[in-house]
Structure 1
């Protein structure tokens, strides 16, 4: 009986350890949430703050934007996210770099045209000057 309880306790502790996020992973998850809110709000200063100076922002169409184009597109309403829902998110941190993958479903209103998108996203965050900023993003349309 003691062996069974010990084994169950060991399995539980192992499961908790495997699913627990590190401090860095929690910080990156918070940065993803900050990015999501900035994209919905469309606030220029928030978008500029979360994006790295050398941002490479890839769209599912193949179009790639730098930081200025990314910020302008969203702040101007040309690309308008009304809602964003993220799911199946994974975060892998290696030093000052983090790779985030998730599925994004969103309601959009691009230049007044209502629509929806369903994309798989890969984000690369880099810790710069003590904070995590978006360095790269690539979207892929789901089948």
Structure 2
């Protein structure tokens, strides 16, 4: 897979995290596949609409998402796997939450556009 594709996927990951922090529903809508499966660190699975609505309605507020590591692995012509770690800061009813995650994301190319098809995140111990 060309280096430019790998950099494009890294850019999409940065764009998604930025949109999550900014509560940018239209940006998230453009980055996620219609049939995305988004599994959070608590095991809750959300559809595209559920995920975007929770963020834009303010039920889920991300203060900051810092990518700590990220490997982009080609898995065929139209699929890339991302294996990463990030530090998440969220706003909760009891104040700020800060926790590291490990995640796997699957991006697929459809009609020339890369979209997030699946994400699975897991909380990991602070190192």
- TM-score normalised by length of structure 2: 0.90
Alignment partners' CA distance in 1, 2:85 and 2:39: 15
Q: How does 1:115-130 map to 2 (within 5 A)?
A: 115-130=97-112
**Which residue is equivalent to 2:78?**
96
Alignment partners' CA distance in 1, 2:90 and 2:26: 21
Alignment partners' CA distance in 1, 2:77 and 2:50: 28
1:17-45 Cα deviation digits (max 9, x unpaired): xxxx7121111111111111111111111
Name which of structure 1's ranges 88-97 and 104-113 shifts more when overlaid on structure 2. Answer: 104-113
Would you say the 8 A contact 1:85–1:105 is kept in 2? Answer: yes
**Whose helix proportion is higher, 1 or 2?**
1
**Whose strand proportion is higher, 1 or 2?**
2
Aligned-residue CA RMSD in angstroms? 1.5
CA separation of 1:101 and 1:84: change in aligned 2, threshold 3 A: same
Q: Which has the larger radius of gyration?
A: 1
> 1:50 aligned to 2:35?
no
Give the secondary structure class of the aligned counterpart of 1:85: strand
Alignment gaps of 5+ in structure 1: 1-20
Give the secondary structure class of the aligned counterpart of 2:41: coil
Give the secondary structure class of the aligned counterpart of 1:138: strand
**Which residue is equivalent to 2:15?**
34
State which of 80, 93, 96 in structure 2 corresponds to 1:114. 96
Count of residue pairs brought into register by the alignment: 123
Would you say the 8 A contact 2:69–2:86 is kept in 1? Answer: no
Give the secondary structure class of the aligned counterpart of 1:60: coil
- TM-score normalised by length of structure 1: 0.80
